[in-house]
Amino acid sequence: MKFLADESCDFSVIHTLRQSGFDVKAIAEISPRAEDLHVINFACNEKRILITEDKDFGQLVYAYGQGSQGVIFIRYPSPGRQKLPSEILSLVNLHGQKLESSFTVVQPGRVRIDNLPI
């Protein structure tokens, strides 16, 4: 499974996924300050699930019908952020392929996985 981490993604999530053997590219490392449309197109072209904390990607996918391999949208407040890397790793290990072609919202104690619009 391959991932693309948006610049808004906490680097500890990137590090944890990489340490666990997942293929993760980070926009901050390959194309800093890239526009959202470029980011989601890059993820789609490389068949990578986008990991982001930027709600604008939900608008791109749902309101504008932008294609996607899948999106993991993280909504974690500051007090719970120390658990974020392990929560994302658990999500990926538990749901795996189900994350592809889905828009997943991750919050403390709650995960919602919806199919992407066709």
- Cβ atoms of 40 and 57 within 8 Å: the answer is yes
Residue 11 confidence (pLDDT) above 80 = yes
* CATH fold of 2-115: Rossmann fold (3.40.50)
Distances (CA, A) of 30 to 6, 57, 61, 94: 10, 19, 23, 29
> How do the domains of the chain map onto residue ranges?
2-115
Span 107-116, pLDDT tens digits: 998 999 999 8
Beta strand 71-74 with 102-107 is parallel
Write down the pTM of the prediction. Answer: 0.94
Span 68-112, pLDDT tens digits: 899 999 999 888 789 999 999 999 999 999 999 999 999 998 999
CA separation for the pair 5, 52 (Å, rounded): 6
- Cβ atoms of 38 and 31 within 8 Å: the answer is yes
Q: How far apart are the first and last CA of the chain?
A: 21
- The residue whose two tokens read 């120390």 is 82
